[in-house]
Structure 1
């Protein structure tokens, strides 16, 4: 089973963000709540937490890519 890592809504009127760093690589173990990536919005840098524990299976959105809120950034396989 896989779980999507989505770009969350920050609630500050932000509609998009740019991935500036992945803290984990494909195949790395992650724990639910662990910071796996950082994105930059027009107002702040936001840390993205793993929504589940498992292995980082894919990175859908590479560094430097700008995506809309709720876009899939990557997936975690349990």
Structure 2
């Protein structure tokens, strides 16, 4: 989570739109889904804004997730 917080804070400060995608080798557990889909970036708390740490989650276990990852990366 530290890595995502740093990337999102740098993105916000630089005024650039950086995306952070979480990738796993296996399916996500329910707790993983909750942490990564609902986690608010620390700088979002400081700014009183609903800024997410992770833009999307993908599993290497699921071929469709890999296709979606490539499409998201290409069509920002």
- Is TM more than 0.5 here? no
Larger relative contact order (CA 8 Å, sep ≥ 6): 1
In terms of fraction of residues, the more strand-rich structure is 1
Max radius of gyration: which structure? 2
Q: With the length of structure 2 as denominator, give the TM-score of the two structures.
A: 0.25
In terms of fraction of residues, the more helix-rich structure is 2
